[in-house]
Structure 1
Amino acid sequence: MEEYMKKNNYGITLIALAVTIIIMLILAGVTISALTGNSGITTQAKHSKTKNELAAYKEQIDLFIADKKMENEEFDEESLFSGKNTLRYNTQNENETGTIKTICPQMKNDYLKRLEIKKGKAILDTKDVTEIEIARSLGINVNPYEISEDGELISSNGNLLLIDTNGTLELPDTVITIGEGAFANTASDGIVLRKVIIPYTVKEIKQNAFNGNNTIEEVEFQTKSGKGVTKIGDFAFANCTNLKSIVIPDTVTDIGSDAFYNCSNMTNIKLSKKIKQISYEMFHSCRALVELNIPEGVTYIGAGGIANCSALKKLVIPSTLNSISDNVFYGSNSIEEINIKDGSGFVYENGMLINKNRTNIYYLSESAVNIETFIIPQGITTLGANLLRNNKIKKVVIPSSVNYIEVDFFTSNVDEIEIATDNPKYIVSNDAIYSKDKKILYMYFSKGSEVTLEDGVTTIGPKAFKNARASIIKLPQSVKELSAYAIYTSYVKKVVIGENINNINRYAFYACDLDLEMKKNNYYIWADGLLYNKDKTKVIECTKNLQQVEIPEGVVEIGDNAFQSRGSIKNIKLASTVSKIGNGTFAGCNGFVEIEIPSKVTVIGTNCFESTNNLKKIVIKKEKESIAGAPWGNRYGDRAIEWNSET
């Protein structure tokens, strides 16, 4: 019995101990919760501290604004911008400097990095939910601009607030990349952009970033210890028609195609010493540019790279240049001086810029083409586009050495072409250039009202009818293929296509306004200005300058470049059955303001909306980012896209 009582007492002691421990843990938990929980003492103390600090800063900012209004009635509250390194406003004395600490002297370093004043408004950069609530309760704005986690300033309406009332855009140093179309054509949003200051932290300026800003006057690239922008994307500063001068820092290694396209008032540009090429149409239509010094290290000039620079007088070519594409100098007819550094692969003699082995002509001076008969020197193998331009040349004599001819080499003034009989590739017959076996038509240059082609021709080459004047073209039954740009003329209004044509390349009817007559063709069908495949499931190309287009039900694909440069189209309705839209399909459709993409679409091709300069609304009936590749070349970037799966 005694032994039993001992065991029983021992058991009670263990139970009591366990109960005591549990009670102590509960009490400890309550205490910790009271101290650290969402409504705990410690947490509340932190919240109170944050609120007091932000309230003090807000009060100091309001007092600063009130003082400035009392000092000068012309003070504009919206002109006040301040941050870690800046302080500026419209009534500021010339020698007055400062930072946000001038306004808030006791500001802590944490807020010094995150609290700014823009257009007179306090703005806090934070993602903390509680801090957001506190800031908003005090009248402090939160995150007015959108920067991704990897530092990309995306295209959004909120980001346009970064532009101050003077039209200055000074980007925060948290930005690493300026996103596609981020500040394209801000004037269309009622915001004038005059000056851009790009901090050294920015590494890349993406496609269309500033495209269409015809009020930009100055772009300042900041560098620090060798750091700065390294890449400028396609069309980044295109159509900035008021930009007069720009200095590209030596940190830049890559400048994309059309980067400065149609900067028509730019008179001077200093290029980075680290670039390797002048890209495709990089300076196209820079009509005020007088001199261009291409830096050492550049090895290649792309097609149209210096085209339509009509005021260009002097060109300096580096010793490193070893390749020039076709059509580089089209429309740049005023070049008087070409300086070529020793070691380059080119020479300039007798008014001709040619390669050293004298096989290619790249530029002809005014004196070289101011004649009626132009004789191509023996040894030349390539006749590139737009070399003769509009002049008084009536006859061209081509030697046996020529093995490649661009139709655009000739102007419409040329009415006689003579080709050496021993030329192994080309022959002239009935006002046309054919392949030696007369299977390929390269160029038809008769100005007659009717087109007469050799029997047996199977292929119509690129731009073959560009210089023709006939209104109707009846292709022989032997023709099987139409090359890209085959019917590239504004004169032709009707083309009769035979039953044997089975290969119509994209762009075949580029920039045409014509009807097609299909005679028993087993591969294609044409209706209401659109060319389809035989079962009418794919739109291949638009052949007319339509204003309204409705894609019929049953069509599942709209082909590459099908509507490219059809600026006359104001509205297009896509069939609900469409699932694929090709590359460049609507590029250059400047009549578009809005387009709706059906829910079945799963693919939109690269640069589908490139140069659709007025397209500011792309409604997509799908979940956000469910189609890859956005914004598909649209100059306004993501701010033009409305994802809507419930529509």
Structure 2
Amino acid sequence: MSEFDIAHGDDDGDDNDDPDDGYSALPKTAVYSGTGNFLDNDELTEVTFAQGVTSIPDFTFSGCSSLTAITIPESVTEIGVYAFSYCDSLTAINIPDGVTSIGERTFEGCSSLTAITIPDSVTTIGDGAFMRCSSLTAITIPDGVTKIGNFAFQGCSSLTAITIPIGVPDIGESTFKGCSSLTAITIPDGVTKIGEYAFEKCFSLTAITIPDRVTTISNGAFFGCSSLMAITNSDGVTMIGGGAFEGCSSLTAITIPDGVMMIGVGAFFECSSLTAITIPDGVTAIGEGAFAGCSSLTAITIPDSVRMIRDEAFQECSSVAAITIPDGVTTIGRFAFYGCSSLTAITIPDSVTSIGHFAFRDCSALTKLILSPAVSIGEDSFLNCTALIAAAADKNMPTVKDLLHYRWRRKPAVMERVTALLCLKGTWDHVEDQPGGLDSVKQKRMDGVEAPLRATETRDKIPKILWRVILEYL
């Protein structure tokens, strides 16, 4: 028997292709004998198989865009990579019981495929096996499957539910990315890792439970899951990757497990409904933009273990009213608290040596600031902090002048409400610029005991020197 029997002739009624037609006619129906392929045959509508066919090689029916149905015989035990990819008219297909592996991208782009049955014999689903099967509404993965490849169900936008077998040890990269109709999924207890972008843009997913053996939630794992309201986290998680929950705009609360040591870049970026979060004691660094845009966040507890608050970490957390930076933090990055417009007070411990550019810019409600003695302050760190009426420093802080210089230069009337200066002992004669409403100056020793005022310490006799004082609004 030949590779296929052609049941398609030219329009002039004879049995041969007319060379004047400009092409050789492609078959509409064929009998497949196990060799050759029909790659990109957009005329093929029906295929039958010769007896004894055991395999369908790579790319055999790839791009057969008019093929609507196919019955694979029970003799077939192997289906190659891309074998039926982009058969975008195919609505249903059977996989025989003898098949043990569904190859890489075997059914990719079968956009009309609504249902498929995977037999119990299958143990492996390859990378991208059902990628972009956008009409697939349900699929049952048999219990014997131990590996689901990266991108396996990416773009299956009609898939509403799926159960992952207990033998699967990890969920690979982008496995369910873009499954926008997926409302529920059960992650089995055997899973230890959720791969990068595994559930990205699963817009309908409302809740998920992370089992106890999971240690890693990788970059972008739940990126853009905008309906996700609740996450039950495993105590075993030690790493939350960059952008892991970015754009989860319905998420109101989350518990970060005690074992987590690093919160990745943008991990909770624009989780705009998140109202409170507790960062566990083991965390040493808060990644860039980790909580940026969490506009409903009202309270943040930063543990003593944190050594660095990176750039943009809490940028535009516009509902946070107060925050305490623990002893041990050495660096506050650029834009770290930029636009925290409800923040009224902040204490920066002595351990902090560097505050980055624009770190507290546009904190328009900030009224009280306590600074460490040796801090280096970046340009415009406190620009547009128009409500600031109390600041603390001492005479060993040469860069505090820059802090107020930038602010006063742009907002010269801001300090007019200050009526008194409370200076550390030995610093009362270090005032460079006087607030317009200043009436008196008091000295305070380093131990906090006030020194008696001298008669010369009145508003008209205060010398102009460097700004290294504590301001009090009385």
Relative to the length of structure 2, the TM-score reads 0.49
TM-score by length of 1: 0.38
More helix by share: 1
